[in-house]
Amino acid sequence: MDKKAQEVRSNHSHIEFSPNDEEAGGSLEDVATENGEILPDSGVQAWRTALGGFLSFVASIGFLSGGSVFQSYFKATVLPASSTSDIAWIGSAQVWGCYFFGIWSGTLSDKHGPALPLGVGTVFMVLGNMMSSVSTKFYQFLLSQGFCSQWFLKRRGLAVGLVMSGQMAGANRLLNFEGVSYGWTLRIIGFMQLGIMVAAILLVRHRFIHVIEQRSLPLRQYFTDRRTMLLTLAVFLMNLGIYVPWFYITPYAIQRGASASLGFYDAAILNAGAFLGCYALGMIADSGLGFFNSVIVATFPCAVNSFAWIGVHSIAGVVVWAVAYGMMSGALQAIFSPCVSMLAPTTDVIGCWNGICITIPSFAVLATGPIAGRLL
């Protein structure tokens, strides 16, 4: 172990590992980090945690990934007097909540395990949907939907792809059925979220069962690390625009001649592409390309696809574009977390490191929907 790694480890308290690390099931493929820490990288408990993360994304930010469905529905029926840009504040505030509280949820997860922040997030998330089901005014939707979800993040490559793909799978719950009202749609989603989140809390486990010395947030260490700050800036810039199609793919498709039903399905097609992208790039990164190189590979085609949206004028073109953009943007969203985790000084602060990195771009996310609404 080099001198720098020894200094980093000496600044951290003693950590006891869960006995399940050795009894995780199957053959463990222990991997040492550059700081000399051992990660199981396999086993039943590790994949149960990944599955729990997947379910938490299905229930939480998956609700957001179908935001264009709500955008169109609000404009057509519930809030016809409000502008598209104003309505976008509802979804933007929801995404902002998912990001902004990351620093606290990440720190709580590092210190006490994931059950506490997941439980708190579940209460607000379900309560928000139940209150939204009886909302009739703009400010009521903003308060009930916009500030209820929390974003929780778990581990590397394929595992992170599994977790992140949950948000794309969860979005397809928003495809309504004939005879089910808007209010009952939200109530049903709320009950589904409650059941899914209970399962997620039971599945997810923290690797560390005790930290003897409680530490303050390592803000100085984070903000003085040049590599971490450059990555944070990149995440901030990415979030200025990457979510725009998730807000506007449905109204854009309808504007180009698609029926309301097909417009809703365009949102599902976008998420299906993103679902595949989450897995594909994660596996490519694990196979040897590496996480940072994978970001470079995915960023350029994602940017090209963003500009290509300008030239899409037909219904078929919207569908093809949605698949292509979904794959590239989904890959990007899945690959940034492992990059942040690699820059964390030790594995026991990975949650905190990820939390800080997603809290800072929350303000970029907040501005995305309303600004795009003015421009489109």
* pLDDT score of 362: 86
Whether the pLDDT of residue 227 is over 50: the answer is yes
Task: Tell me, rounded to whole angstroms, the distance of Cα 360 from its chain centroid.
Answer: 14
pLDDT number for residue 130: 72
| Residue pair 74/229 in contact by the 8 Å Cβ criterion | no
Which pLDDT score is estimated for 323? 93
Q: Per-residue pLDDT averaged across 93-111, rounded?
A: 76
Tens digits of per-residue pLDDT, 259-270?
877 887 888 888
pLDDT in tens, 45-84: 767 777 777 777 777 766 666 666 677 777 777 778 788 7
Q: By percentage, how much of the chain surpasses pLDDT 90?
A: 8
- Lowest mean per-residue pLDDT among 170-179, 199-208, 269-278, 354-363: 170-179
Beta strands (DSSP E) in the chain are: 15-17, 31-32, 38-39, 208-211
* Residue entry with tokens 């749609």: 185
Q: What is the pLDDT, as a whole number, of residue 148?
A: 29
What is the pLDDT at residue 16? 46
- Mean pLDDT for 344-362 is 82
Q: What is the pLDDT of residue 325?
A: 94
Residue position matching structure tokens 């938490």: 56
Q: Cβ distance 270 to 245 under 8 Å?
A: yes
- 355 Cβ partners below 8 Å, 6+ apart? 102, 103, 104, 105, 106, 107, 109, 153
Of the two residues 272 and 70, the one the predictor is more confident about is: 272
Rg (CA), the chain: 21
User: What is the mean predicted confidence (pLDDT) over 138-159?
Assistant: 38
Domain extents in the chain: 44-205, 218-362
Look up residue 284 and give its two tokens. Answer: 């490519």
277 — pLDDT class (breaks 50, 70, 90): confident
Angle made by CA atoms 161, 285, 106, in degrees to the nearest 5: 50
CATH architecture of 44-205: Up-down Bundle (1.20)
Mean pLDDT of the 90-117 span:
76
| The pLDDT value given to residue 1 | 44
More confident residue, 227 or 4: 227
Q: Is the pLDDT of residue 168 over 70?
A: no
CA torsion angle 139 195 189 46 (round to 10): 90
What's the mean pLDDT in 371-375?
A: 83
The DSSP element (H or E) to which 209 belongs, if any, is strand 208-211
The answer, yes or no, to whether residue 146 has pLDDT greater than 50, is no
- Those residues with Cβ within 8 angstroms of residue 182's Cβ, 6 or more apart along the chain or in another chain: 73, 77, 78, 133, 176
pLDDT tier for residue 234 given thresholds of 50, 70 and 90: very high
At 119 the pLDDT is 82
State which H helix or E strand residue 38 sits in.
Answer: strand 38-39
Q: Are strands 38-39 and 31-32 parallel, antiparallel or unpaired?
A: antiparallel
Residue 21 has pLDDT above 50, yes or no: no
Chain-wide mean pLDDT for the chain? Answer: 72
Gap between the Cα atoms of 131 and 304, Å rounded? 40
Residue pair 274/330 in contact (Cβ under 8 Å)? The answer is yes
Q: Work out the average pLDDT over 340-347.
A: 82
pTM as predicted:
0.72
